[in-house]
Amino acid sequence: MKYRYTPFMELFLAPLLIAFFFSAFIYWEHFGFTSKALNTFSGLIALYALLHAPKRTVLISGFWIGLLWCYWIGFSFQYYGLGWAVWLVALGFGIVYALYYGVMALTANALIRAALLFGLTYVWPMDFNWMQPELIFVESYIGIHKWQFALVLFALASTAIFSGAKKLLPLVLLVGAIQTSYVIPPLPNLKIKLVSTDISQDFKWQSERLNQTIQENFDAIDEAIAHNYDLVILPEAAFPLYMNHYGEISDALRERSQYISILTGTLHEENGLNYNVAYLYDHGNVTIAKKTILVPFGEYIPLPEFLRGWVNRTIFGGGSDFVTAEKPTDFTVKGVAFRNAICYEATRKELYTPDVRYMIAISNNGWFKPSIEPTFQKLLIRFYARQNSTVVFHATNGGGNGIVY
């Protein structure tokens, strides 16, 4: 006999449980309780439920998934004097992902839902790619490649074809999606110092804090020199200024680069255009790496021109979008090649190409404290690093520092 959902189950309890199982891997990681077995179980349960639950349950589940994954995005608005918008943004993302997963609610056929969900892995609302359904298996016994996710969906959906004990037959296919290890290149023969800072956004851009920040950066570099590091990496916007307008600071970094290679995040102004960049100082030479992919609603507004200008003037106080370079920048330090990635770029597949084995990523996660954002970002970086056999050296402000692979 087919189970009959009560309204309470269909509209409230079931959606919350599905969203919990779908999001659990992020929170287990955040609080230090990651278990591959637990993540495998919760991911399979969540997907099975999405494929077989009533239509309204699927729609509402998408709303709660959106909140549990993205509630933190509006936190940055408080630094623009828009604290009142924080939870409106969270609500907006809940609605967006209710519609995103709600596509599956157009049908009750589990196999069609599986095909729709697989198709959604290629869809990024507002050019924001952090909602990756296959990410739920990044720390599990299930592989994270597209074909493995497709196999899992087909196996779980195919149970609808059978009845009784025979429903278990398609689950045998899950064995084909098991993956317990990934090919990761050996660490380079370099002594690398990743500088972690924890400067609140309340103070980071204040002029009275600037001198202290600069001194702390130089102290970290001098300490790395004293301990014979080959490369020191400072976070995104570690120097919160337009470096090409501060010759004295740049010269001091050039001088130290005779003893150690220095990569630091900063800003760059060129021909009236603003760039979010990394500067590499190496034996007195300077290489500027400009960001190639901007954060939607953070560094650019993904709206038509007439709306973009209004949002920048009205909400962001007349600020303009950052500008991008045409392609990523690669560095070579003592014969080792690195791809440069600034924050959001490290979570985009475009930066991970077959020739890249090592990546330097720098981030400022202080915009979103306190939240799961640094953990979420680390899981996404790990997702792409494992898919592409890449090691990522990640220096951050506000959490998430470390080597990711």
Rounded-to-integer distance, Cα 44 and Cα 148, Å = 13
* Two tokens, residue 219: 């102290």
Q: Which of 394, 397, 393 is nearest to 185 (CA)?
A: 393
Residue for token pair 């400072």: 234
Reply yes or no on whether 236 is catalytic: yes
DSSP β-bridge partners for residue 89 = none
Q: Which of 29, 134, 139, 236 is flagged as catalytic? A: 236
Q: Is residue 204 among the annotated active site residues? A: no
The token pair at 289 is 């790496």
Asked if 86 and 67 count as a contact pair (C-beta separation under 8 A), the reply is: no
User: Active site includes 291?
Assistant: yes
What is the C-alpha to C-alpha distance for residues 161 and 165, in angstroms, rounded to an integer?
Answer: 12
Question: CA 260 to CA 273: how far, in whole Å?
Answer: 30
Choosing from 70, 134, 193, 343, which is the catalytic residue? 343
Contacts for 247 with CB less than 8 Å, ≥ 6 apart = none
Q: Supply the DSSP symbol for 10.
A: I
Enumerate the H helices of 55-206 as residue ranges: 55-70, 86-102, 110-120, 146-158, 201-204
For residue 164, count other CB atoms closer than 10 A to its CB.
6
Active-site residue, selected from the candidate residues 291, 345, 373, 378: 291
Which residues are marked as active site? 236, 291, 343
